[in-house]
Chain A
């Protein structure tokens, strides 16, 4: 039983030829599908209509939606299955973001602590370099 709570971003593209309210309905069904799959929806961001970099199902542009969810991987697999089946969703991608988030906070921490040390390390690096270069 791995029931790790992880954060994922699911970006999906809704076909562009739907009426606005229909598109909204699709978005809300995906959202409810996510909760039904056992994920807690953190955020839904409509990124608007964008031109696709290449044709997808003969569509040149699409309605991008970014869904941030939290839950176990098995639930994400279920959500992906739903997206695959959903007719108006033409493409989707799931990216796990919690590790990256962790990394970023870590880097920030290190950077904040390093601000004082930096001048020293820079000098040391400059001093040690010319020797191997000439030799």
Chain B
């Protein structure tokens, strides 16, 4: 029973913390954030990958990342063409093992992520990027 109470307390703690986290990025960006819900739900796990992810206090660390507003590199730097030949550019959006990094981590906007994904897949096809990097 006591455990349940504790759990409830921790979840409510998270719940109260979540809106605060959600509001800060809410002000500058016009879209309803998909990741605003993140810290409370399953999203809390991902940014906290390297460190501890237990609820409540532990989330204080990762949430600092959330405060920093992510911006789309392509929009900011006005990169129009996302070409499969530009390996340097594409590599920034590919994880170590060759996976395409999700938008919620890189902050790339949806239209650009779409183009980016297509370009990365083309680059993979012509062996400019790995499908899976050897380990």
Q: Are A and B genuine complex partners? A: yes
A11-B85, A100-B81 known; A56 vs B127 contact (CB < 8 Å): yes
Rounded to whole angstroms, the CA-CA distance of A131 and B127 in the bound complex is: 49
* The one of B28, B30, B81, B127 that contacts A91, using a Cβ cutoff of 8 Å: B127
Q: Is A25 an interface residue (CB 8 A)?
A: no
Rounded to whole angstroms, the CA-CA distance of A114 and B125 in the bound complex is: 37
Contact with A along B56-86 (1 / 0, CB 8 A): 0000000000000000000000101100110
Q: Contact residue range for chain B? A: 20 to 34
Q: Is A2 an interface residue (CB 8 A)?
A: no
**Contact yes or no, B30 A125, CB < 8 A:** yes
Which residues from chain B contact A107 at a C-beta distance below 8 Å?
A: 80
**Contact yes or no, B80 A54, CB < 8 A:** no
Which residues from chain A contact B26 at a C-beta distance below 8 Å?
A: 133
**Contact yes or no, B27 A129, CB < 8 A:** yes
**Contact yes or no, A93 B27, CB < 8 A:** no
* Count of chain A residues with a beta carbon within 8 Å of a chain B beta carbon: 22
Q: Is B11 an interface residue (CB 8 A)?
A: no
Q: Is B126 an interface residue (CB 8 A)?
A: yes
- Number of inter-chain CB pairs below 8 Å: 44
Find the B residue at minimum CB distance from A100.
B81
Q: Is B117 an interface residue (CB 8 A)?
A: no
* The one of B126, B129, B133 that contacts A13, using a Cβ cutoff of 8 Å: B126
* The one of A56, A95, A100, A111 that contacts B78, using a Cβ cutoff of 8 Å: A111
**Contact yes or no, B23 A93, CB < 8 A:** no
Contact with B along A41-57 (1 / 0, CB 8 A): 00000000010111010
Q: Is A16 an interface residue (CB 8 A)?
A: no
Which residues from chain A contact B98 at a C-beta distance below 8 Å?
A: 53
Q: Is B130 an interface residue (CB 8 A)?
A: yes
**Contact yes or no, B27 A91, CB < 8 A:** no
Extra contacts, 8 of them, besides A52-B127, A54-B127 (Cβ < 8 A), are: A11-B85, A11-B126, A53-B130, A92-B126, A93-B84, A108-B80, A130-B27, A133-B27
Which residues of A are interface residues toward B (Cβ below 8 A)? 11, 13, 50, 52-54, 56, 62, 66, 91-93, 95, 100, 104, 107-108, 111, 125, 129-130, 133
